Amino acid sequence: MNKKKLIKPDKKEENLSKVVDAAKKYFESPEFKNAPGEMEKIYNILTPEKLLKRMTI
Amino acid sequence: MIDINLEIYNDAFWTQFKDNSNVFETIQSYIDNYPGLSKIFILTEENYIDKDFIIDYSNYYARCFKDIVKKTKRYHFFFAEKKEEILDLFYSIFGNNRINESLKKLNSRYLGFLVKKELENGCIGRTILKKYPRKVDQNSERVLNVACINKINIFGIPLEIDTLPFQEQDGGVSACATMAIWSALRALSDKFNISIPYAPSEITSLAFEEKSLISSPKFPNEGLNIHQIISVFSKLGYNIISYSDVEDNEFLSQLFRSHLNYGIPLIGLLEFEDDSFRRDYHAVTISGYKLDNLNDSITQLYVHDDQVGPYSKVNFQAGKLWEWNYDWFVKRETLRKIKMAEVLVPLYPKIRQTFTAVYEKTYLHMQNKYHLKNSDLRIYLDDVNSYKWDLITKIIPIIKNKTNPERVLNKSFPKHIWVLRLKEKDIPAVDFIFDATNHNLSMHECIEFF
């Protein structure tokens, strides 16, 4: 008999397993690949005015 | 036998810098408070030709009417109980006696050096000082991975220090932005090997190749604008990713940690606001941070500020990582607020996936969907070699399931990766590996450790 099968995974590992499986599935899905990036439009924009800010100190 | 003149170090040493330097007090405090040091001894190298200064001299100072001395003095700092301990190490190397052992010991007793230029302003030139140890106390540590190997030669004896070089602005060939770039390039050149470290005057000249809608002269330099700063990095082969007006602690904390851990320096562009709401701008190199391990949070940043000093400690106003509180409030009485308005991240061009997308699409997704605590999740940038070495040395020894990480050791990986690490009770549980070199964000591997 396979001893491993007799050992029940504890609840936490079971939960973790579920989270990991779901996350893995999501990271491989087209939904993830096509997810729009909203934050880049907020944080990664340098306006022409900002470009001309001069570091004078 | 060479005559080695080691002098005892004390406060009087700094008198010569009082009228010509804005940063000597911070450097003095850095040396005086270096943990675990006994006595310090100074070895003076007269008529030292500093490569950076000789280039700056030929680009600018040589054509000034006033006589400027082109040679410098270099002061080396050693620590020991008695100066004979240091002298014995030197003489045993000269005598070819236990040369490797003595060399190692001498290197361990070497704190570094500073170059003094004979300039009216900004006389402290290239300064290489050993980093403070990683451990601060039981619950906190300094993360100072932004550094490079500095090879130093004294009387033909090769020593080296792993640290981030610093120098003060001279107001002639450089202002703050030039010096922030100068320090950053030291670490970047060492890490990515795609550019040579430039002298300050060369950096300023490179910036002024850009038509930047500025009517100021190149030399004496009155500062660079953001466009010029970015253009310098671009010309040297780096991509610059800018982050503007970020007022989000979690975002900034992950941004700092993911790059600084990997050894990438950040350029912080600061907005100074005074009592009358007048605004000035300043550039610094962000070189590390202090981590509170209990709360898994950044409690201080370390910056190379060319007007304050190396590894200057930055605290935060009301815990906001974008509102800084440091020595400037003592230097400028009218100062009301320092805001980190922009962060520039210079990246090796093969790193095509940048922080924001990875943070939003992986870290935030996991956090929101599964209600995970901040301390359970980390994202960081890495390269395949250092990641696999971490698996071998840090992960495999502490986890139950060793098969999965061992399995990936002989697998092919992209050179640069983003890692999303999920932890369970502080122990790594799973790593989601994303290819940082691909134009689309894609998962390369998932390694379960439980």
CA–CA gap between residue B292 and residue B375 (Å, rounded)? 12
pLDDT higher than 50, residue A6 = no
Mean confidence (pLDDT) of chain B: 95
For B277, other C-beta atoms within 10 Å of its C-beta total: 8
CB B438 within 8 A of CB B414: yes
CB B312 within 8 A of CB B327: yes
Q: If contacts are CB pairs under 8 Å, which of residues 224-243 in chain B contact chain A?
A: 224-227, 229-230, 241-243
Task: With cut-offs at 50, 70 and 90, classify the pLDDT of residue B371.
Answer: confident
- List Cα–Cα distances, B266 to B51, B127, B195, B257, B271, in angstroms: 25, 19, 17, 11, 16
Look at residue B404 in the predicted model and tell me its pLDDT.
84
Check CB contact under 8 Å for B246 and A44: no
Task: With cut-offs at 50, 70 and 90, classify the pLDDT of residue B292.
Answer: very high
Write out the DSSP string of chain A. --HHHHSPPPHHHHHHHHHHHHHHHHHHSHHHHT---SHHHHHS---HHHHT-EE--
CA–CA gap between residue B348 and residue B386 (Å, rounded)? 16
Does A6 lie at the interface with B, CB-CB under 8 angstroms?
A: no
pLDDT per position as a tens digit, B404-433: 888 899 999 999 999 999 998 889 999 999
Q: If contacts are CB pairs under 8 Å, which of residues 109-138 in chain B contact chain A?
A: none
CA–CA gap between residue B342 and residue B242 (Å, rounded)? 7
Q: Which residues of chain B does A4 touch, with a Cβ-Cβ cutoff of 8 Å?
A: none
- Residue B37: exposure state from Cβ atoms within 10 A (0-12, 13-18, ≥19): middle
For the whole model, what pTM was predicted?
A: 0.95
- Kindly report the nearest CA distance between residue B174 and chain A, in angstroms: 10
Q: Looking at chain A, which residue has its C-alpha nearest residue B439?
A: A33
Q: Looking at chain A, which residue has its C-alpha nearest residue B445?
A: A24
CA–CA gap between residue B115 and residue B53 (Å, rounded)? 10
Q: To the nearest whole percent, how much of chain B has pLDDT over 90?
A: 90
CB B198 within 8 A of CB B215: no
pLDDT higher than 70, residue B442 = yes
β-pair partners for B124: B116
Q: Which of A12, A40, A57 minimises the CB distance to B176? A: A57
What would the mean pLDDT of A28-43 be, rounded to a whole number?
A: 92
Maximum Cα interatomic distance, chain A, rounded to a whole number of Å: 76
Pick from B262, B57, B86, B240: which is nearest to B157 by CA? Answer: B86
For B403, other C-beta atoms within 10 Å of its C-beta total: 9
Q: Looking at chain B, which residue has its C-alpha nearest residue A24?
A: B446
pLDDT per position as a tens digit, B228-286: 999 999 999 999 999 999 999 999 999 999 999 999 999 999 999 999 999 999 999 99
pLDDT per position as a tens digit, B195-236: 888 999 999 999 999 776 667 889 999 999 999 999 999 999
Listed in sequence order, the DSSP H helices in B301-437 are 328-331, 355-358, 365-370, 384-390, 403-408
Q: Looking at chain A, which residue has its C-alpha nearest residue B271?
A: A55
| Residue carrying structure tokens 């040493």 | B13
Q: Which residues of chain A does B213 touch, with a Cβ-Cβ cutoff of 8 Å?
A: 52
Cα-Cα-Cα-Cα dihedral sign, residues B135, B136, B141, B147? negative
Q: What angle do CA B169, B174, B176 make, to 5 degrees?
A: 60
Does B430 lie at the interface with A, CB-CB under 8 angstroms?
A: yes
CA–CA gap between residue B295 and residue A48 (Å, rounded)? 39
Does A14 lie at the interface with B, CB-CB under 8 angstroms?
A: no
pLDDT per position as a tens digit, B38-85: 899 999 999 999 999 999 999 999 999 999 999 999 999 999 999 999
Q: Which of A19, A24, A37 minimises the CB distance to B356? A: A37
Check CB contact under 8 Å for B307 and A51: no
CA–CA gap between residue B97 and residue B365 (Å, rounded)? 61
Mean confidence (pLDDT) of chain A: 81
Structure ipTM over 0.90, yes or no: no
